[in-house]
Structure 1
Amino acid sequence: MEPKQIKEGYLVKKGTVLNSWKVVWVVLSEDGVEFFKRKTDNTPKGMIPLKGAVLTSPCQDFSKRTFVFKMRTAKNQDHYFQASHLEERESWVKDIKRVITCLQGGRKFTRKSTRRSIRLPDTINLSELYIKMRDQEDGVKELKLEKEKRVYNHCFTGGTVVDWLISKDKARNRHEALMLATGLLTEGFLQPAGDLSKEAVEGGAESAILDDPDALYYFADSGFFCEGYSSDEDVILKEEFRGNIIKQGCLLKQGHRRKNWNVRKFILRDDPAYIHYYDPTKGDENPLGSIHLRGSVITAVEFVPEVTLTLNGSPQCQGVHPPLKLVYQAPATGGVHLPK
């Protein structure tokens, strides 16, 4: 029998020969991970067996890349994958770890926990803790703070994190709270924002996170950005990024001129309502484009003319007919076609 498929989606993979990062379609099954050059391919470009494999997440081998995880096979071959955002990485890591555990124990894969009745008071689930910290009503409040002629948006201080952990009975004292916060920072849930916090992380301080009103941090999945005191034009440009992130992930996008289809990472923000799209193989600092949603019309359509699917900059096949697309039509910019 064919192994059961568990999960599939776009990820960015580091090449084993050229060391370049390219978008691939990844399928997780009960015995391994297959990756395809494009979603419509019948034959995988490669297969990674998970029996005896070791998963490392977060993988911090690449300083300029976030949300990376590493799989080392039983034959000591390393494979690096990058997700588009934290929630996506955690979802892949959770399922891959489960597959590895099931293979070691000779069991069938299941997402239901077999340890539901077991309570380990000394074990903290950082993923669950992070979700509670992100709660809009009861979590850590994101602020706009000014330090040394810079404005930090959607951030908070290390002291705020420590106070929250103690107030919510997640830690008995400030020392325990610092340990928890350091774990969140090490696992990539929190990120250093200012010079003081970055120096603490890079300099090997006693505590990677600082209980200090001048040490700034932000949630990995927030709309954080930093701006200096500059011209009015720059302020208007940054206004696009002030909204909270509502949804993000990879989609196929049709180009304006060639009408080719490329995998792009999309981020939807509210107030002001914008969609920004990026090349997922590169850093997220500079979007390839933006769509202002105010006054836009969103229409689902059933068909688009035949086009060339382009993946990682190279034309792959003709005649792409996505069954469902979204057409974003802004008054001034025309249409941008996005398959659901």
Structure 2
Amino acid sequence: MDTDKKTQVLREGFLVKRGHVVHSWKARWFVLMPDTCPFLEFENRPLVFKLQSANGVDHYLEACTREERDDWAADISAAADNLQTAGDENMTNKQGEAGPCLQNIDLSKVLDSMYDIHSGIRMSNHVEQGSTYRNCFSGERLKHPVFLNIHVPMNRAEAVTLATALLEEGFLRTVGLKSMEALRTAGLSEQFMDDSTALYGFSDSLKKRGSVKAETSQSALELSGKVVKRGYLLKQGHRRKNWKVRLFVLRSDPAFLHYYNPTKDDISPVGGFSLRGCLVSSLEDNGVPSGVKGNMQGNLFKIITQSDTRYFIQAPTHQEKMGWIDAIKEQT
């Protein structure tokens, strides 16, 4: 994330962005340049602000603190004031525009249609590179009526966008190497492959109707401490070893570090641990430490809990990394 840039950068960091097609929230890395579109306030959520581009497209962005929201807003407003013309939109994180027929689609209703025993998507066994995968379907099933005739007819490109939203929300999962590689390397709007050899299945937590993914219960005591620090960091998963943006909240008395899915809320953490007896250390950026996989951006640090569980975390900048390490050490 601390890379040299040929163009002027006013501010950069994680924000949570509301999608145009399906109005869900996704964590994205944003870069503010001098030719960014105007800033308008958005009153419905306290940490959200709205950008309106010259062609009238609204972009809803959520910061992790009021201070960060105000800093982004001030810098964006200053950049907008310096514009000579309103025609140059150069948002780094701009997504492709989708047809109006995809607005406000209820993904749960799409899932109900996919599950339907009579008219839903039929699951079968597929072979990829000599391996047999059971209970899955190919990306070519986008021509199935469940995608093409939801609310209003849509074309294949819009169906890909809808299927990508299902994949991003965790309702679908990749099966086999081809679809997994596409998810890793494709653009934001092309993660689902319209291909007969790309395989997909339903999420394990959604295979049974009405099933709800179990959430880790957190005691009221460990969430009762005073908030010392909060911010967006990248965390490596324990099983899949992939990196996801998480909202981290550090509390004292009692000392706990919790992390949340920033696209959901900051009320129910998806994980957390006591800082009693924890060890926290900075890791060098030259080389990949043992136990770390996937896309390394740098500014890495490690936390080892009292039960010997290891957490690998990346901060956006070296300064933020050291700030988190110092804050955590004060609580251990």
Q: TM-score range by the shorter chain?
A: 0.3 to 0.5
> Where is the strand percentage greater, Structure 1 or Structure 2?
1
Q: Calculate the TM-score normalised by the size of structure 2.
A: 0.48
Q: Calculate the TM-score normalised by the size of structure 1.
A: 0.47
